[in-house]
């Protein structure tokens, strides 16, 4: 739960609490979801009260949404409800990794049966557009946010972060190499299907090794080592950069197709 959002919600609940207490009830903040849904629990005389739903949605929701623009709704939960553990701060980046991995697998599958002289499958130009746009911006997101946070947390600018930055340079070279082969592909003297498959396999293998290293060296450290308030700051910073770099549609697509 974002501590800043939590404090803002508690301030608003304190404003409406006297009206609820007047009827012998009370309200507790239970959880704040990433999508802006605030979960609350009614206690005292409000439990089982026929007007509880009206109290929550007409009173509490109106107050919260009237003062906090990011609140999208209010949900009433049962007495035994326990919120799910908060996701790691790097969850969005990991989701984009999974999306990129699926595109690489689609590319490999499309090239598997490619014959000399045949037209390139649609997955090939689609991946090139992805590499020039979404993947390049994903690497930029990691460098500007994840790597910076890791350097601050680890207290040094060399070591694993420097190695991972070098690997980003190699990924860019592999993307460029594959693009150049596709441009020169014509089935008559130029690069053939075997060369395209080999280049795609190099990209996929290197990307997989790189992201696994990021997970074990950086992501696990940040998700498990940072204090909750710092995790919340990192998650917010990632969200801002996802929007700024135009990665929001790609991230939304990962939630539609897990």
Q: What is the pLDDT of residues 15-51, one digit of tens each?
A: 998 888 887 888 888 888 777 888 888 887 665 565 5
What's the sign of the alpha-carbon dihedral 18, 23, 29, 35? negative
Cβ-Cβ contacts under 8 Å for 86 (sequence gap 6 or more): 1, 228, 231
Residue-wise pLDDT for 95-105, tens only, equals 999 999 999 99
State the pLDDT at residue 229. 81
State the pLDDT at residue 257. 47
Residue-wise pLDDT for 127-148, tens only, equals 999 999 999 999 999 999 999 8
In the CATH scheme, what is the homologous superfamily, with its name and number, of domain 3-76? Fe-S cluster assembly (FSCA) (3.30.300.130)
What's the pTM?
0.65
Q: How far is CA 131 from the centre of its chain?
A: 18
State the pLDDT at residue 80. 62
Cβ atoms within 10 Å, residue 207: 20
State the pLDDT at residue 33. 79
Tell me what the pLDDT averaged over the chain comes to: 85
């Amino acid at each position: 739960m974002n501590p800043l959002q939590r404090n803002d919600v508690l301030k608003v609940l304190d404003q409406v609490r006297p009206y609820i207490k007047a009827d012998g009830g009370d309200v507790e903040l239970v959880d704040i979801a990433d999508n802006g849904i605030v979960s609350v629990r009614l206690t005292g005389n409000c439990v089982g009260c026929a007007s509880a739903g009206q109290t929550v949605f007409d009173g509490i929701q109106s107050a919260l949404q009237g003062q906090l623009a990011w609140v999208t709704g209010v949900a009433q939960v049962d007495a035994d409800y326990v919120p799910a553990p908060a996701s790691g701060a790097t969850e969005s980046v990991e989701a984009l990794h999974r999306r990129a991995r699926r595109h690489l697998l689609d590319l490999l599958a499309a090239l598997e049966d490619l014959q000399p002289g045949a037209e390139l499958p649609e997955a090939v130009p689609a991946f090139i557009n992805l590499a020039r746009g979404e993947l390049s911006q994903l690497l930029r997101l990691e460098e500007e946010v994840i790597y910076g946070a890791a350097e601050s947390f680890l207290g040094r600018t060399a070591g694993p972060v420097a190695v991972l930055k070098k690997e980003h340079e190699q990924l860019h070279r592999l993307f460029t190499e594959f693009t150049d082969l596709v441009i020169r592909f014509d089935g008559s003297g130029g690069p053939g299907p075997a060369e395209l498959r080999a280049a795609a396999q190099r990209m996929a293998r290197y990307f997989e090794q790189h992201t696994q290293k990021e997970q074990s060296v950086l992501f696990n450290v940040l998700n498990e080592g940072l204090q909750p308030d710092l995790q919340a700051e990192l998650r917010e910073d990632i969200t801002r950069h996802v929007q700024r770099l135009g990665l929001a549609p790609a991230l939304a697509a990962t939630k539609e197709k897990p």
